[in-house]
């Protein structure tokens, strides 16, 4: 399925390392997910990755603003631009 976390991960690795290494990387990622699901008796939830991605993006923006402040700049977010 396109647009899923695993699909995006595969395409990102494939672009950098090639298709064969991407298949191995995605296989490992799936096995790790299965292990954690069985260990924690949980169900797979794709939306969990969206929340993690949003949190990472927020932390990334905080780091960028912090670095700019250290360099003496003042960044102002634009309204309506994503």
pLDDT in tens, 6-39: 898 999 999 999 999 999 999 999 999 999 999 9
Domain annotation covers residue 7 = yes
Confidence tier at 82 by pLDDT (50, 70, 90): low
Q: Verify that 48 and 58 share a domain, yes or no.
A: yes
Q: Cα(82)–Cα(74) distance, rounded to whole angstroms?
A: 19
Number of domains in the chain: 2
- Whole domain around residue 54: which residue ranges? 44-73
- Output helix, strand, coil percentages for the chain, rounded to the nearest 5: 70, 0, 30
Domain annotation covers residue 78 = no
> Residue 71: helix, strand or coil by DSSP?
coil
Domain annotation covers residue 68 = yes
pLDDT in tens, 51-66: 888 999 999 999 999 9
Q: Verify that 49 and 38 share a domain, yes or no.
A: no
Q: Verify that 37 and 10 share a domain, yes or no.
A: yes
Q: Which residue has the tokens 């296989």?
A: 27
Cβ(13)–Cβ(22) under 8 Å? yes
Q: Verify that 54 and 65 share a domain, yes or no.
A: yes
């Amino acid at each position: 399925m396109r647009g899923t976390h695993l699909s995006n991960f595969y395409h990102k690795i494939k672009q950098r390392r090639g298709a064969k290494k991407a298949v191995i990387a995605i296989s490992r990622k799936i096995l790790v997910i299965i292990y954690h699901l069985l260990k924690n008796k949980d169900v797979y939830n794709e939306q969990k990755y969206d929340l993690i991605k949003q949190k990472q993006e927020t932390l990334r923006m905080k780091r960028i603003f912090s670095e700019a402040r250290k360099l003496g700049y003042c960044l102002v977010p634009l309204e309506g631009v994503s």
